[in-house]
Structure 1
Amino acid sequence: MPEYVVPTAKRRRGRPRGGSSDARDRILAAAAEEFGDLGYDGATMRGIAARAGVDAALVHHYFGTKADLLTEIVDAPVRPDVDVPRLLDGPRDDIGERIVRYVLEMWERPDVQKRGVALLRATLGNRLTTPLLAGFLSRELIGRIAEGLDAPDAELRASLVATQIAGLLLGRYVLKLKPLAGASVDELVEWMGPTVQRYLTE
């Protein structure tokens, strides 16, 4: 008589092993420590998982990528790592205007503006968060713009674009400089678009 073998239950898809009700909070706390100690570039998902005492797959399950995780921590209102490739994928003769318009139209949304202003105020001059934000922008904004440029000085060009955008956000939404704060989006795109365009393509 053949021996009956009990079938092995298949593991259900979903949360990886090691998940618990407080795992997400532990991961966030560990990520804050990892980013604070090592900066954005030095931090790794495996290192964060080790600090939290969970499997690395669980970190990816909850947060996806390192950029996603940092965004969750700092509550960043925009995602350059997601949006920049889309902005660069188009005609080169108006890329400067597209970038400036995208940033302004995003920041004109009340929810984004509120979070963005809070983020800028919290990070500027803070010895822990300023390098963290700088690392994120260097990798996810400047780095991605540079990757899309066919030029030997692509990183410098991308850095100049970042300074224009950062200055615009500070002047318009944090310092509220007049008449910059009262100018329309179309006016600012007309003024700044050619400058950003020159940095990128000329």
Structure 2
Amino acid sequence: MTDAAPRRRGRPSRTEAEQGPAARDRILAAARAEFSERGYDKTSVRGIAKAAGVDPALVHHYFGSKDEVFAAAIEISFEPALIVPAVVGEGPEGVGERLARFFFGIWENPATRAPMLAVIRSAVTHEAAAKVLRTFVLRRLLERVAVDLDVPEPKFRAELAASHMIGIAFVRYVVKVEPLASVDKEEIIAMVAPTLQRYLTEA
């Protein structure tokens, strides 16, 4: 009896493929955990597959490259189609507070904090992570918020808002500088919201 021919990279077995969405969800959950714990550079497709209990070929089958599985693992934290109307739907008044509440709410939720930590920690040293940060935080969320508010220079305003919030998140959740690291979220929102309001609405 001869050995079976080795499987080609990216071509999962029929058994693995039939696991369908459940296998894909396990891969995404494992990827978020691995990227959050190890950072981008130290995370491998093989490690993600092992954590998810699947063959590495299945990871390639669903997502292609390591960059693509990273982006997919992070994207779940952002749903612009739902977020943008919730932030701007009530008009310009109060948009700064709604945006701050949404953004810091992501960080306060352990389920969505993990992928955000992975992005922030890795963006400084790896372009793939920086691209995810630009794509999901800036272009797909903040720029759309600014455009929907119909203000001059929406991209520039979005970048100002992003730099403000990401800077605070880095100091609070990554570096954990006190007292910012332990102050109540509501205090941060109260201080940050007027600045975001000015960035996004003042002519």
Shorter chain as normaliser: what TM range?
A: 0.5 to 0.7
Aligned to 2:168: 168
Aligned to 1:88: 88
Q: Find out whether 1:111 has 2:146 as its counterpart.
A: no
Tell me if the contact between 2:88 and 2:148 (Cα under 8 Å) persists in the aligned partners: yes
Alpha-carbon distance in structure 2 between the residues aligned to 1:138 and 1:101: 16
Alpha-carbon distance in structure 2 between the residues aligned to 1:77 and 1:104: 12
Any residues of structure 2 matched to 1:138-177 within 5 Å, and which?
Answer: 138-177=138-177
Deviations 1:95-114 (A, max 9, x none): 10111112222321222223
After superposing on structure 2, the runs of 4+ consecutive aligned residues of structure 1 that deviate more than 4 Å are none
Structure 1 residues 105 and 136, CA gap change in structure 2 (3 angstroms): closer
Any residues of structure 2 matched to 1:129-144 within 5 Å, and which?
Answer: 129-144=129-144
CA RMSD of aligned residues (A): 2.6
Which has the larger Rg? 1
Tell me if the contact between 1:78 and 1:112 (Cα under 8 Å) persists in the aligned partners: no
Structure 1 residues 136 and 78, CA gap change in structure 2 (3 angstroms): closer
Alpha-carbon distance in structure 1 between the residues aligned to 2:155 and 2:138: 9
| Superposed displacement of residue 81, structure 1 | 4.9
Alpha-carbon distance in structure 2 between the residues aligned to 1:181 and 1:147: 32
Structure 1 residues 116 and 127, CA gap change in structure 2 (3 angstroms): closer
Alpha-carbon distance in structure 1 between the residues aligned to 2:114 and 2:132: 20
- Over the matched positions of the two proteins, sequence identity in percent amounts to 29
| Superposed displacement of residue 185, structure 1 | 1.5
Q: Secondary structure at the match of 2:94?
A: helix
Q: Secondary structure at the match of 2:149?
A: coil
Q: Find out whether 1:128 has 2:163 as its counterpart.
A: no
Aligned to 1:28: 63
Structure 2, gaps ≥5 residues long: 1-16, 25-57
Structure 1 residues 92 and 140, CA gap change in structure 2 (3 angstroms): same
Q: Secondary structure at the match of 1:105?
A: helix
Q: Secondary structure at the match of 1:180?
A: coil
